[in-house]
Amino acid sequence: MTNKSLLVTASFLGLTSIILGAFGAHGLKALVSLEALQSFETGVKYQMYHALLLLFVGGTNLIPLKAKKIIFYLTLMGLLLFSGSIYGLATNELSGFDFKTIAFITPIGGLMLILAWVVLIVKFLKIK
């Protein structure tokens, strides 16, 4: 894990959140309910927020490398489970797979995102 890989991943997550946001606003609008569209937008927002988090983490020397790795993996897995499952649930009616059967992973992903922020806070508190 290097700062470069953190920054590249963060940039990719930011890029894809913009693409998914545009897709949701223009492509999904006529295909899913307003509630599903709002849910999709929540997934996009959380993806962008955490892309910005990873940009910060990759660009600072205030956080030790070990903590950066933990934050990176918690954020990446958290986004996959949280935003990924929301994308699936919001577009459930368009898919042949019933994403409602795996909806339990959404809060697990949310917990991982929370833990990433907790690690960040703890490392900031330890700065002398």
Token pair of 35 as six digits: 């509630």
Token pair of 61 as six digits: 């020397």
- The angle subtended at Cα 12 by Cα 121 and Cα 117, nearest 5°, is 10
Contact 86, 45 (CB under 8 A): no
Q: Rounded CA gap, 67 and 88, in Å?
A: 30
- The reported pLDDT for the residue numbered 1 is 77
Tens-of-pLDDT digits for all 128 residues of the chain? 789 999 999 999 999 999 999 999 998 888 998 898 999 999 999 999 999 999 999 999 999 999 999 999 999 999 999 999 999 999 988 888 888 888 899 999 999 999 999 999 999 999 98
Amino acid at 89: L
